[in-house]
């Protein structure tokens, strides 16, 4: 201990002498960085699952900060559904080039083309990601897979540990989770098993946006308001693309919209929004009466336990 241990600490503006108030974003950032470094120290072949969405972009930003000035010591894995927004793929390639990252791509389209997967009648490809994801993990012998999942997203995710053990089939068993104590993470696993790691577990959607604002993190443009040709289906504004256009009875309109999540184009809806900047988005998220998944993800609406079922199958 030095002579004046608290001299330069950030002081509580009112009651000086009290322990320093730690901004919740600083606390969340430090926790996530700690998790990244634990995995780098204990696993042989970690990988970051990267979708181009805001959560996985924040994840990459945190990984860069965790190891700076050294490069990020593991690659990114993108499970490409083939139904992408062009802006997202351009953004991904820009990010990888700018930070000298390594990128591995597992393509759903390849699986459909050679018959290992069949297109679903509804054309939704998010559920088809599981097989290419698990094969990508097995082929590359990845033993720790970082995901951008947050516990505030959904009820089944609320029960997931930060280190989530998966069996050789990538499956999650909620009844067999290890107790997670203090910040001592137990990543031991048998050959063939792997661990999913969620450094953003304790972040909320608003935390993510406030962090994007604070750190000036670039995102794909579709997160901000823009004019787009859209058609209404199940209360969501969908855009036409390689996954098909409007069905009969659906009319195309031009709207000012933005995306709150980025997923497969066939089932990710836009919301009407005038939020052109990150400040606008934060105000909008704080005032929103809908969760981001409830508002914009068709795949989570399928059943009361849709996410739980997909997680058990080995989805993120």
The nearer residue to another protein, 27 or 168, going by C-beta atoms, is 27
Does residue number 264 form part of the binding site for another protein (CB under 8 A)? Answer: no
Per-residue contact flags (x/-) with another protein for residues 196 to 225, judged by CB under 8 A: -----xx-x-xx------------------
Q: Of 51-59, 81-89, 247-255, 268-276, which part binds another protein (CB under 8 A)? A: 268-276
Q: Rounded to whole angstroms, how far apart are CA atoms 123 and 144? A: 31
Q: Rounded to whole angstroms, how far apart are CA atoms 294 and 31? A: 28
- Minimum Å gap between C-beta 252 and another protein is 23
For another protein, which residue of 93, 168, 174, 245 counts as binding (CB under 8 A)?
Answer: 174
The nearer residue to another protein, 4 or 114, going by C-beta atoms, is 4
Does residue number 13 form part of the binding site for another protein (CB under 8 A)? Answer: yes
For another protein, which residue of 45, 99, 189, 233 counts as binding (CB under 8 A)?
Answer: 189
- The residues in 70-89 that bind another protein, with binding defined as CB under 8 A, are 70-71
The nearer residue to another protein, 27 or 252, going by C-beta atoms, is 27
The nearer residue to another protein, 38 or 80, going by C-beta atoms, is 38
The nearer residue to another protein, 66 or 88, going by C-beta atoms, is 66
3-state SS of the chain is CCCCCCCCCCCCCCCCCCCCCCCHHHHHHHHHHHHHHHHHHHCCCEEEECCCCHHHHHHHHHHHHHHCCCCCCCCEEEEECCCCCHHHHHHHHHHHHHCCCCEEEEEHHHHHHCCCCCCCCCCCCHHHHHHHHHHHHHHCCCCEEECCCCHHHCCCHHHCCCEEEECCCCCCCHHHCCCCECCECCCCCCCCCEEEECCCCCCCHHHHHHHHHHHCCCCCHHHCCEEEEEEEECCEEEECECCECCCCCCCEEEEEEEECCCCCCCCECEEECCCCCHHHHHHHHHHCCCCHHHHHEHHHHCCCCHHHHHHHHCCC
- The residues in 87-146 that bind another protein, with binding defined as CB under 8 A, are none
- Minimum Å gap between C-beta 98 and another protein is 16
- Minimum Å gap between C-beta 220 and another protein is 21
- The residues in 22-81 that bind another protein, with binding defined as CB under 8 A, are 22-24, 26-31, 33-34, 37-38, 40-41, 65-71
The nearer residue to another protein, 121 or 235, going by C-beta atoms, is 235
- Minimum Å gap between C-beta 136 and another protein is 24
Q: Specify burial of residue 181 (Cβ count, 10 A radius: 0-12, 13-18, 19+).
A: exposed
Structure token pair of residue 67? 């190891």
- Minimum Å gap between C-beta 57 and another protein is 16
Does residue number 5 form part of the binding site for another protein (CB under 8 A)? Answer: yes
Does residue number 297 form part of the binding site for another protein (CB under 8 A)? Answer: no
The nearer residue to another protein, 79 or 225, going by C-beta atoms, is 225
């Amino acid at each position: 201990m030095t002579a004046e241990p608290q001299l330069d600490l950030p002081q509580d503006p009112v009651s000086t002498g009290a322990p320093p108030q730690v901004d919740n974003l600083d606390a969340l950032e430090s926790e996530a960085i700690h998790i990244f470094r634990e995995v780098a120290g204990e696993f042989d072949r970690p990988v970051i699952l990267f979708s181009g969405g805001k959560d996985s972009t924040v994840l990459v930003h945190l990984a860069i900060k965790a190891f700076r000035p050294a490069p990020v010591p593991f690659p990114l894995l993108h499970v490409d559904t083939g139904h992408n927004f062009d802006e997202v793929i351009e953004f991904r390639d820009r990010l990888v080039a700018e930070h000298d990252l390594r990128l591995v791509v597992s393509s759903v389209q390849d699986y459909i083309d050679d018959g290992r997967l069949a297109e679903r009648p509804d054309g939704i490809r998010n559920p088809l990601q599981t097989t290419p994801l698990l094969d990508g993990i097995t082929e590359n012998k990845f033993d720790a897979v970082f995901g951008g999942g947050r516990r505030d997203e959904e009820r089944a995710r609320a029960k997931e540990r930060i280190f989530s053990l998966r069996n050789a089939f990538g499956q999650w068993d909620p009844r067999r989770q290890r107790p997670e104590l203090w910040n001592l993470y137990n990543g031991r696993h048998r050959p063939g098993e792997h661990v999913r790691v969620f450094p953003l577990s304790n972040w909320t959607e608003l935390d993510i946006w406030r962090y994007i604002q604070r750190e000036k993190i670039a995102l794909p443009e579709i997160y901000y308001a823009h004019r787009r040709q859209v058609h209404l289906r199940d209360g969501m504004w969908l855009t036409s693309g390689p996954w098909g256009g409007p069905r009969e009875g659906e009319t195309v309109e031009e709207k000012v919209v933005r995306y709150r999540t980025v997923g497969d184009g066939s089932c990710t809806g836009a919301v009407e929004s005038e939020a052109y900047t990150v400040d606008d988005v934060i105000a909008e998220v704080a005032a929103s009466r809908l969760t981001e998944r409830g508002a914009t993800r068709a795949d989570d609406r399928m059943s009361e336990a849709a996410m739980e079922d997909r997680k058990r199958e080995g989805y993120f």
